[in-house]
Amino acid sequence: MTPLLELTGITKRFPGVLANDDVHLEVAPGEIHALLGENGAGKSTLMNILYGLYRPDGGEVRLNGEPSGIASPADAIEAGVGMIHQHFMLVPTLTVAENVALGLAGNGVLLDTSGVAERVGELSSRYGLSVDPEAYVWQLAVGERQRVEIVKALYRDCRLLVLDEPTAVLTPIEVEELFVTLRTMATDGVGLIFITHKLGEVLILADRITVMRDGRVTGETVPSATSKGELANMMVGRPVQLAPDRPMVEMGAVRLAIDGLSVNGDRGTEAVNECGLEVRSGEIVGIAGVSGNGQRELAEAVVGLRPVVAGRVAIDGVDVTSMRPSQVRAAGLAYVPEERMRDGVVAEFSVAENLILVDHDRPPFCRRGLLRLGAIADHCRDLVERFMVKTPTLDTRAGNLSGGNIQKLILARELSSEPGVLLASQPTRGVDIGAAEYIHRRLIEERGRGAAVLVISEDLDEVLALSDRIAVMSEGRILAVMDRSEATIQRIGLLMAGSEAVA
């Protein structure tokens, strides 16, 4: 059988970087082909070449045995290649049908959706996508928006579809529904390239697996012949501990108490509704939920970055509800923010400057208004070594570090004060599997030291791996709090979808 896609000897260079180095990849019609690799492994560059966003410096792209001739995304779409990005490419103020029709030849200045809605309905029925053509995108949940992206690709007669981290923002139930859809597409002969970091999903869904590291293919296998550990080893180049060790720890007194907390979002509407939660010394509590259900606003209210409408936050019995962030920190709270580049570091500052960002005006770093450069250098060298931050020098711009090393830098700064409470929001989002392994280990070490650790994560595997207790958040409310022993993916998934019947 002629392969649907052949990438042969693909090489792509950027200044100082060999992004793709003689890469070979084949996808057969009706095959679900998983593409794995850490950040910087070359996956995105390879897919951007396929989609016409980059031109390769060497090698060839063939579709159905013929040179593709793809030089732009428009060429790719014309050739039957579709791509669904992790961040959806939809216009919120348009309807589903209008989004599907957008950009189609023959529409001119005004969108013509005549006939589009009917065809969308047919595709929805065929692939179990449950999409209302007349609904506005802004009204849709995250999972529904993803279905619209898939309908768009199918409407354009897509025969090869690339999905980039397609399950990152879905509930477990939505993941199961997506997999049914993808298998139906494969049955119809569509080739699928499935990019993900969730190794368990790869073993469930994929027909074949290709692993990349440092711009090269390091292995190709099938699910029946491999395991999570072997795949991680191929990705990182060393054995990786996927499930962190969690030694028994005796829990102590409540260190973080959230009582009846209500908070508004950026648009002035209620984002958090009367949330209550306690975290004890020696305990990790994980908050699970789909993005946009109040987790960000809850975290920002706890650390003093967002005003509280009602309720109370206390640290070690001290009411910090109306305190400034610096006062909340002084009361014993450390914070690893969701957006590390926006809220965690100053990209233009050096590694050293970021490490003392919150303490630069206090001893031993400052005396009589003057910085003590020797003390700062000693302190920063110690933190870089202890927290395994890979940086050329302490003077290197923080923005030049990898995502994983920026996250380690933030952890180093926040944990250097040995806080009583640690709030870590999306602690491993966008970091490599090796960095995620290290971050998980440090969070568990804080638990062992007696800190109260609150982890907010959209990665359900992460929540289950780390937590002693799990709280599930939906539409701004905490629907249930359960012990680790009571938590199942099915139960948490139903709660994430807003079902209180299982609470």
Is 449 inside any structural domain? Answer: yes
Q: Tell me what pLDDT residue 290 has.
A: 87
Percent of the chain exceeding pLDDT 70 equals 97
Residues 283 and 196 in one domain: no
11 has a pLDDT exceeding 70: yes
> pLDDT digit string (tens) for 247-285?
999 999 999 999 999 999 988 999 999 999 999 999 999
Is 369 inside any structural domain? Answer: no
Q: Tell me what pLDDT residue 116 has.
A: 87
> pLDDT digit string (tens) for 120-148?
888 988 888 888 888 999 888 778 888 89
Residues 275 and 206 in one domain: no
Kindly report the backbone phi and psi dihedral angles of residue 20, in degrees, each rounded to the nearest multiple of 5, phi listed first.
Answer: -130, 130
Counting Cα atoms < 13 Å in the Cβ hemisphere of 445 gives: 11
31 has a pLDDT exceeding 90: yes
54 has a pLDDT exceeding 90: yes
Residues 207 and 153 in one domain: yes
Is 385 inside any structural domain? Answer: no
Is 443 inside any structural domain? Answer: yes
Residues 318 and 455 in one domain: yes
> pLDDT digit string (tens) for 353-394?
999 888 776 777 787 777 778 788 889 999 999 999 999 999
Residues 204 and 298 in one domain: no
Residues 280 and 132 in one domain: no
Q: Tell me what pLDDT residue 110 has.
A: 56
The Cα 368–Cα 387 span in angstroms is 30
Residues 196 and 269 in one domain: no
Is 244 inside any structural domain? Answer: no
Is 247 inside any structural domain? Answer: no
Residues 162 and 297 in one domain: no
Which residue carries 């700062």 as its tokens?
A: 376
Quick count: other Cβ atoms within 10 Å of Cβ 44?
17
pTM of the model: 0.84
Number of H helices, E strands in the chain: 16, 22
Average pLDDT over residues 445-464: 95
Average pLDDT over residues 337-366: 87
Top pLDDT among 236 and 402 is at 236
Is 342 inside any structural domain? Answer: yes
Task: For the chain, give the mean pLDDT.
Answer: 91
Residues 103 and 51 in one domain: yes
Q: Tell me what pLDDT residue 105 has.
A: 60
The Cα 155–Cα 26 span in angstroms is 24
Which residue carries 């962030």 as its tokens?
A: 325
Total number of domains in the chain: 2
Residues 232 and 280 in one domain: no
Is 448 inside any structural domain? Answer: yes
Last residue of a domain, one of 206, 236, 266: 236
Distances (CA, A) of 160 to 442, 459, 485: 41, 27, 42
Residues 64 and 135 in one domain: yes
Which residue carries 């999905």 as its tokens?
A: 163
In this structure, the strands spanning 318-319 and 333-336 are: unpaired
Give the domain extent around 287: 254-351+399-496
The Cα 112–Cα 75 span in angstroms is 22
Last residue of a domain, one of 201, 236, 271: 236
24 has a pLDDT exceeding 80: yes
The CATH number assigned to the domain holding 279 equals 3.40.50.300
Distances (CA, A) of 78 to 67, 104, 127, 347: 14, 11, 22, 40
111 has a pLDDT exceeding 60: no
Last residue of a domain, one of 236, 269, 299: 236
Task: Work out the pLDDT band at 18, boundaries 50, 70, 90.
Answer: very high
Q: Tell me what pLDDT residue 198 has.
A: 85
Residues 431 and 308 in one domain: yes
Which residue carries 């970087």 as its tokens?
A: 17
Task: Work out the pLDDT band at 170, boundaries 50, 70, 90.
Answer: confident
Closest CA relative to residue 14, chosen from 75, 66, 77, 56: 56
